[in-house]
Structure 1
Amino acid sequence: MKIFPYLNFDGHAEEAILFYQTVLGGELEGGFQYFSEIPGMDIPESDLHRVMHVSLHINQQFKIMASDILPSMRKPFIQGNSNYLSIDADSKESGSEIFEKLSAGGNVEMDYQKTFWGAYFGSFRDKFGVGWMINYDLKHGES
Structure 2
Amino acid sequence: MALINPYINFNGNAEEAFNFYKSVFGGEFANITRFKDLDIPENPIADHEKDKIMHIALPIGQNILMGNDVPERMGRVNENEHRSKISIGAASKEEAVKLFDGLSVGGSIEVPMGESPWGSYFGMFRDKYGIEWMVDFDPKHKGKVE
Q: How does the TM-score come out when normalised to structure 2? A: 0.50
Segments of 5+ residues of structure 1 without an aligned counterpart are 86-143
**Runs of 4+ that moved beyond 6 A:** 82-85
Q: Equivalent residue for 2:112?
A: none
* Greater fraction of residues in strand: 1
RMSD: 2.3
Residue 13 of structure 2 corresponds to residue 12 of structure 1: yes
Segments of 5+ residues of structure 2 without an aligned counterpart are 87-146
Alpha carbons 2:70, 2:76 under 8 Å: kept: yes
Question: Which has the larger Rg?
Answer: 2
How big is the shift at 1:81?
3.6
Q: Deviations over 1:37-91 (max 9, x none)?
A: 114221110111110001000112x2210100111x2322212249799xxxxxx
Aligned residue identity for 1:27: E
Structure 1 SS opposite 2:21: helix
Q: How does the TM-score come out when normalised to structure 1? A: 0.51
Would you say how many aligned residue pairs link Structure 1 and Structure 2?
A: 82
Q: CA, structure 1 residues 51+2, in 2 after alignment: closer, same or farther (shift >3 Å)? A: same
Alpha-carbon distance in structure 2 between the residues aligned to 1:2 and 1:10: 27
How big is the shift at 1:5?
0.7
Q: Equivalent residue for 1:74?
A: 74
Structure 2 SS opposite 1:18: helix
Structure 1 SS opposite 2:65: strand
Alpha carbons 2:55, 2:68 under 8 Å: kept: yes
